[in-house]
Amino acid sequence: MKGVAGVGLLGSALVLADTLQQVPQKPILADACPSDSILHNGECQPAILGAQTMDNIRQNTTITLEEARASAQEHEGFPWTFLPECYSNEKQTEPVCVFSDQDFAGGRGIFLVTTTPLAYEMLKKPAFSQPEALSRMNQHSNPPFEEHDFPGKGRGIVANKTLHRGDQIFASTPLVISNPLSYNLVDSERLRLGHRGVDTLPPDTQKLFWGLLDHFKGDPVEDRINTNAFDITINKVQQYAVMPEIAMMNHDCRPNAAYFWDEDTLSHYVHATQTIYPGEEITITYINNERKREARMKNLKTNWGFDCSCSSCAAHPIFAAESDARIQAIENIAEALNDWTSSSTATPEMAETMLSLYAQERLEASMGVAYKHAAEVYSSFGDRYTAIKYAQLALEMLHLDRGFNDNDIKFMLAMAKDPEQSWSWKKRVGHKRFEDSSCGHAH
């Protein structure tokens, strides 16, 4: 059975009791409805404010965009530009709605396809509650790059000035944040929410959306979202976000830039992770690159719809096999370094080899993890200054790759300040440092 097209005004305590009583109740389904929704025609519907909205639901009509705008304006302090449109069904009893704010990020606008509780959680973030938190975002008047068409590969961006490690390339807010729960809706309703969402964006932002590429050739809105979306997390809930700027960047398994998602500002940051000279393409990775070639190629094909053609995917099989072997060696060393038991064979030399392998593999963008291993293993042998050196390097690289609030960053901050206070300090003092144990051997 299909869900009913509903129009709801949500997150409010103003639900009118007598309005609710007019709704035919079916006890079993009613129990399944979340607290902020009501039952209507056998479906859970968002709780609503007024009789006019109720009539819309009862008549099973969808109001026009202008009506939705007028309704939103009628309610003082209503946080969205349009009255949200919602759908639900037995599988998805918590209605999924499209929430739109045209004023977001200085007028760039945003729409959210998600449930009411999650949308209102987002409203509490500085991104919505403190507009000045977004002052660094979407500043694209003098970018350090230009768009470029690469034959056989499509467009990408190329540096037009020298970028140094840590230089910001973008900081942008999404046009859409979409919750995977929307896949519980029937197709027509899910697609309707997407189209409605795009229609609610300010005109210039709509142009940005339609300028996105679509790989999969199905519904034009959903394809653009699927082709360009990044997995993000908001309050521990996995969602998809589309940032048109980062969508211009091509994938490379050995990228020269890294990105992270910042939950507070609902923004995506991209920074250079190494020197990038004018004329070089600026690339990011769409996947975890510490995997072998075949696994990487498969992942890109399945999730992003393209055949990986970056140099590390296109390499001669013999070189590719050497690269895979280095990836395997990194994995083996990481396993040894993660062993904190008394029989651990971990040594600082292993971490040095790991760093060398990362550099040889041109995995600079994900080197933060390797530096962290190095800081910890030196700390575990009581080598204060080498631990500090690597903690500082880890801090820099982890920031570019993981953002502001990562746990490893907190550990590395503490380590850089005072390795003696780290849990790892001198944990392995007395362990052997060389496997052949030819200690004291003079030459």
Ligand X SMILES: *[C@@H]1O[C@H](CO)[C@@H](O)[C@H](O)[C@H]1NC(C)=O
Footprint on this chain of ligand X (rule: CB under 6 A): 2, 4-5, 41, 60, 142-143, 146, 160-161
Residue type, 191: L
Residues in the chain: 443
User: Which candidate, 133, 141, 397, 132, places its Cα nearest to that of 271?
Assistant: 397
Euclidean distance between CA atoms 427 and 430, whole angstroms: 9
Task: Tell me whether residue 282 or residue 330 sits nearer to ligand X (CB atom).
Answer: 282
Residue 392, by phi and psi: left (phi above 0), alpha (psi -120 to 50) or beta?
alpha
Closest distance of CB 62 from ligand X, Å: 8
Task: Tell me whether residue 189 or residue 223 sits nearer to ligand X (CB atom).
Answer: 189
Closest distance of CB 144 from ligand X, Å: 6
CB atoms under 10 Å from CB of 199, counted, come to 15
Task: Tell me whether residue 74 or residue 187 sits nearer to ligand X (CB atom).
Answer: 187
Task: Tell me whether residue 146 or residue 231 sits nearer to ligand X (CB atom).
Answer: 146
Task: Tell me whether residue 169 or residue 310 sits nearer to ligand X (CB atom).
Answer: 169
Closest distance of CB 59 from ligand X, Å: 9
Closest distance of CB 41 from ligand X, Å: 5
Contacts of 138 (CB under 8 A, 6+ apart): 105, 106, 108, 171, 172, 173
Closest distance of CB 40 from ligand X, Å: 9
Residue 8 is given by DSSP the state -
Task: Tell me whether residue 12 or residue 41 sits nearer to ligand X (CB atom).
Answer: 41
Contacts of 136 (CB under 8 A, 6+ apart): 171
Closest distance of CB 259 from ligand X, Å: 19
User: Which candidate, 49, 52, 54, places its Cα nearest to that of 75?
Assistant: 49
* Three-class SS state of 271: strand
